[in-house]
Amino acid sequence: MDELDFDIIKRLQTDGRTSYTDISEELGVTVGTVRNRVQRLIENQILKIVGVVNPFKTGSPSVTIFGMKVRHQKLDHVIKKLVAIPEVRFVAAATGVYDLYVEVITSSNEELYRVMKNGISAIDGIESIESSLILEIFKQSYDWDVGSQSSQ
């Protein structure tokens, strides 16, 4: 990871379909180099180019954020199980009131209930779950500051 990687990422953060040609001209390297770099970043799972939708604009989905307290000996196990559930789209460890934050998106409340009952509740090691149904998303941006070589 060097300055060029960061610069390429910055460009793709604002538009994931920016042509490698454009990026190469802007950054003063060859298209091939941009291509190689992007490929490597994607292979190493540092970068992912995806179409993102606001779930509330494509239907009436159930978006839920869970705050979980977990037995620390079981943390790895709980994470592994959660990650394996398709409807679980975000899992992160945190400090503070909850050990884990988990986001689930289903296309209905019935399906949410199914995931909670058969998927999440069945996991051994979860001590408590606080759940919040998301009503509306006001901001969802992906161009956060990836920093730079010099700032590390």
The one-letter amino acid at 46: I
Residues that bind its own copies (CB under 8 A): 1, 6, 9, 11-17, 44-55, 57-61, 63, 65, 67, 79, 82-83, 87-98, 101, 105-107, 130-147, 151-152
Partner interacting with residue 122 (select from its own copies, DNA, none; CB below 5-8 Å by kind): none
- Signed CA dihedral, 108, 90, 119, 132: sign only: negative
With CB under 5 to 8 Å by kind, the binding choice for 1 among its own copies, DNA, none is its own copies
How many whole angstroms separate alpha carbon 61 and alpha carbon 85?
17
Q: Which does 51 bind (CB under 5 to 8 A by kind): its own copies, DNA, none?
A: its own copies
Chain positions contacting DNA, by CB under 7 A: 4, 19-22, 29-33, 35-37, 40
Cβ neighbours for 104, distance < 8 A, ≥ 6 positions apart: 62, 63, 64, 66, 85, 87, 88, 89, 112, 115, 116, 120
